[in-house]
Amino acid sequence: MTRVNLLLSALEGESLDEFASAMFEKLGVSSFAQRASGPHGSRCYVGTDADVEFEVLACDEPGQEDLPFCLRISAAPRGQASVQFVEELAHNVEQLVKPFGRRVARMDDADPVVEQGATSA
């Protein structure tokens, strides 16, 4: 499965619920659901648009405490999204959120976190 993980900074006082709502709105995903994730039952939000699945969850990546949220972008289970499409979409999402004062780092499944830069609002 093709998947890209984007780690994102929080706006001051922003909760996971607020971040998920704002992110899905920016992505144009009108329907999403809260689910339990992982063995510890932590919360995540999942939304699907066409052939792509978006998952928003809290991030606890060591050394990245200033990037508390993760947006996973992947081909939907029954979707036809290509590797190239998911990669381009991840790049577009990075560009979409930076002007709103968010820092973004990309973490591929096999690669370490690579900071994509920061902008101020």
Mean pLDDT, to the nearest integer, of 99-118? 67
pTM value > 0.95: no
How far is residue 99's CA from residue 118's CA, in Å, rounded to a whole number?
Answer: 9
d(CA 67, CA 52): 23
pLDDT in tens, 17-48: 999 999 999 999 989 999 887 665 678 999 98
Q: Name the least confident of 52-56, 106-110, 113-117.
A: 113-117
pLDDT band at 119 (very low <50, low <70, confident <90, very high): very low
pLDDT at 78: 72
Contact predicate 53/46, CB 8 Å: yes
Q: Which CATH fold would you assign to the domain 3-110? A: TATA-Binding Protein (3.30.310)
Q: Classify residue 22 by burial, with Cβ atoms within 10 Å: 0-12, 13-18, 19+.
A: middle
Q: Where are the domains of the chain?
A: 3-110
pLDDT, one tens digit per residue, over 42-80 is: 789 999 887 889 999 998 888 888 999 999 998 877 777
